[in-house]
Structure 1
Amino acid sequence: MAKKGDKTNAVRMIERQKIAYELLHYEIQDAESVDGISVSEKIGYSVEYVYKTLVATSSTNQYYVFVVPVAEELDLKKAAKVVGQKKVEMIPVKELLNITGYVRGGCSPIGMKKLFPTYLDASAESLEFMIVSAGKIGLQLKLSPQDLAKAANAEFVDIV
């Protein structure tokens, strides 16, 4: 059960769905240390388990959420193919809060303002657990990939 200060939209949603999870806290020294590799070091887990949440858009102004390993890059061509678009591009960071309700470094694939089509990289599917942002900087969620897919209404695809 999360403490009061840890009750983000993401945490509320997984609790509502009765999904098993663990919260991981880390210290924030500066805004630059919110990249996924730094976060994995701070929480003491290998980068293979830590995933970042990226938001992209298409020419049709549809938004898409992609969850990929922190040490990897989203392949925009594969991502476009998966969503049936000619092209997708990352949204500007300054638009992230307005679109998702989350800030850079604290963007969770669960509990955004709207439910966008969400895709988890296929590399997560065989993991025992994965770690994603819990919806604010300094807080991560550890849960099974299948539970994350359920909570985010996501599917596993090859996108890196």
Structure 2
Amino acid sequence: MSKTNAARILDRLKLPYEILEYAVDPDDLAAESTAEKLGLPPEQVFKTLVARGDRHGVCLAVIPGSAQLDLKALAVLAGDRKTDTVPLKDVQPLTGYVRGGVTALGTKKAYPVYVDELMLTFETVAVSAGKRGLMLWLAPQAYLTATQGIVGAIARSSPP
């Protein structure tokens, strides 16, 4: 299995991680499906969303797979009046990654990274390795160090 840019960044920073592999269904890229394939609870598998604030521009929001992004909370944490997710067509040009493989590590440009506080309740979490079918399994603190992530309450429970 070839290393992704995200894995190389962790190597360079001497941060420990494992790579988890799973089968990709291009018609179902939901974090909940990824969690199921990995045998993990969806709240331990974090998805990376691309958002844009009215004052500070593009940022990345990292939230549990079982949650929805709270755009108002993200705006407050980012110092914006309002934020919104970017259209899907803009994700790859902005980050260099395709939907289902977006990670905060190794984006085309260094964007601020905002991480939901639930990440800190786990010993290890899964985040995208920057390629569909590959996840990084690492300690939250290692992820926060590598991404310079800012922690806050930016997720809310998905409706049943």
TM-score strictly above 0.5: yes
> Aligned pair 1:32/2:32, yes or no?
no
For the 8 Å contact 2:104–2:113, the answer to whether it is kept is: yes
Cα distance, 1:48 vs structure 2:
2.1
> Aligned pair 1:56/2:45, yes or no?
no
Cα distance in 2, alignment partners of residues 100 and 136 from structure 1: 12
> Aligned pair 1:89/2:84, yes or no?
yes
SS of 2:136's equivalent in the other structure is: strand
For the 8 Å contact 1:127–1:145, the answer to whether it is kept is: yes
- Structure 2 spans left out of the alignment, 5+ residues: 156-160
Please list the CA deviations of residues 98-118 of structure 1 after superposition, one character each: whole Å capped at 9, or x if unmatched: 100100000011111111110
Cα distance, 1:70 vs structure 2:
0.6
Cα distance in 1, alignment partners of residues 55 and 116 from structure 2: 23
Q: As a proportion of its length, which structure holds more strand?
A: 2
SS of 1:31's equivalent in the other structure is: coil
Q: How does 1:6-155 map to 2 (within 5 A)?
A: 7-28=3-24, 30-60=25-55, 62-155=57-150
TM-score, length of structure 2 as denominator length: 0.93
Identity across aligned pairs (percent)? Answer: 39
SS of 1:146's equivalent in the other structure is: helix
TM-score, length of structure 1 as denominator length: 0.93
Comparing 60-69 and 36-45, the one that deviates more: 60-69
Cα distance in 1, alignment partners of residues 39 and 28 from structure 2: 15
For the 8 Å contact 1:120–1:156, the answer to whether it is kept is: yes
Cα distance, 1:53 vs structure 2:
0.2
